[in-house]
Amino acid sequence: MKRPVSLIVALLALAGLAAAGPSDPVLARVRDRYRTIATMSAQLTEVLCSAATGTCKRFTGKAEMKRPAKLRLEIDQPEQQLVVCDGKVLTMYLAKERQAYRFDMAKSDQMLTLLNPLDGLLDGEVVRSEAGDGVLTLVLAVPKYKDYFKEIVLTVDEKTLLITGIEAEDVAGNHAQYEFSDIKVNPRIKDARFTFAVPKGVKVIAQ
């Protein structure tokens, strides 16, 4: 059975920066900013690189997030995919293959949800940081994610304190890069957006 290897790998799964302490004031400001955010939407570009195959794949689409731990990704290029998480179950639907892969979040942590800035991502400590050209770069160590990631790097807009980029390498060497643009803060997003309604004729495969 064919499986969506490039994205499934990412789901399952910066040099020259100045030193910074765990109580870094920049991260504190970013945390304060995100405490005011209940929902968020943005245009998304993601690049996923597999350590096993040595290949990378680029995806574009739209992201929607809502507390607590809700996520929706509508991928339009290179092929249509839909990722929906209601905080308990994550479903990835491949329109071309007419198949949906379902993950129980209690049994299987996923990279996409771990890196959700409206969830636990900002619970980490700053290892190194850099500021310049209106951009803040924060290298994070997140203790509760130590079994998943070697390093997480955030790119933050210095003016708005919104995260515009996330890079992460997991312990298996897989690399993920997410870039956000046209970010909208606290738009009205219904909970139904984070529930997957199975289209007629689509096979659902539990992972």
Closest CA to 175 of 45, 59, 7, 47: 47
pLDDT in tens, 86-96: 989 999 999 99
Mean pLDDT of 110-129: 78
Number of folded domains that form the chain: 1
- CATH of residue 96's domain is 2.50.20.10
Q: What is the dihedral of CA 153, 54, 94, 60, to 10 degrees?
A: 50
Domain region containing 163: 5-13+16-206
Q: Are 22 and 28 in contact (CB under 8 A)?
A: no
Mean pLDDT of 60-71: 93
Closest CA to 43 of 185, 182, 187: 182
Type and span of the H or E element at 169? strand 163-170
Query: Could you write out the DSSP letters of every residue in 2-56?
Result: ---HHHHHHH----SPEE--TT-HHHHHHHHHHHT-SEEEEEEEEEEEETTTTEE
pLDDT in tens, 172-196: 999 999 999 999 999 999 999 999 9
Partners of residue 130 on adjacent β-strands: 137
